[in-house]
Amino acid sequence: MKASNSAGLTESQAKVLKTISDFIAENGFSPTAKEISEILRITQTSVFEQLERLEKKRYITRQKGAARTIGILDQPENEMPAQKSGAVKLVKVPVIGTIAAGVPIFADENMEGEILVDESNIGKGRFFALRVRGDSMINAGINNGDLVIIRRQPLAENGDIIAALIDSDATLKRLSLSKGEVFLLPENEKYSPINVTCREDFRILGKMVTTVTVL
């Protein structure tokens, strides 16, 4: 098999990695092994073999047994999608764990991977992505398994959907500021507001700017 010039990658591995990157850039989520096999016209067995090798070489991360969980950890510069003048500008956003949309749950800030996002959809700033667990924000169109893109900022305005930390637990809720009181509001009548007015362990991690639905 002919070797690629890309740091430690064979030609086949470089093609699979580029296919994943291009697919994420176009769709906002990662491809399945079946989709990769159809794009490259190779067998799914070959795709799985290449994914295993890319994972061992720390180019990608994935959750085995679950679809559309491939994240790009690293990519050679000459394998990045070309960006023409006036074309969409893509930025890398790290995926750093799971955030609750129900009962608050600890968000582990170990990076799981990265997704490529159109900068025009999120603006300028420092961003991270968290995976939603639960259904407390479904009336805001945020479902279990979605990725939410968060702009890092310590302050937010009334009505913003924010990622907040309570003690060591992170949660996604709508911020409510009224008559000197601060509440975190769910978007599902099954859940109750959380009063954080006098809590010293409460802080805002950032404001949600968009979601990525994982199919």
CA 86 – CA 70 distance, rounded (Å): 28
Would you call 53 helix, strand, or coil by DSSP?
helix
Q: Could you confirm whether 136 is annotated as catalytic?
A: yes
For residue 18, which of 89, 116, 146 has the smallest C-alpha distance?
Answer: 116
Structure tokens of 30? 């990662």
Contact 67, 48 (CB under 8 A): no
Tokens of 13: 């591995």
Nearest one of 211, 207, 31, 204 to 121, comparing CA atoms: 211
> Which one, of 167, 166, 177, 126, lies nearest residue 150 by Cα?
126
Residue 85 is encoded by which pair of tokens?
């003048």
Pick the catalytic residue: 12, 15, 21, 173?
173
Which DSSP string corresponds to 71-103? EE----GGGSPP--TTSPPEEEEEEEEEEESSS
- Say which of 12, 18, 136, 207 is annotated catalytic: 136
Q: Active site includes 56? A: no
Annotated catalytic residues are 136, 173
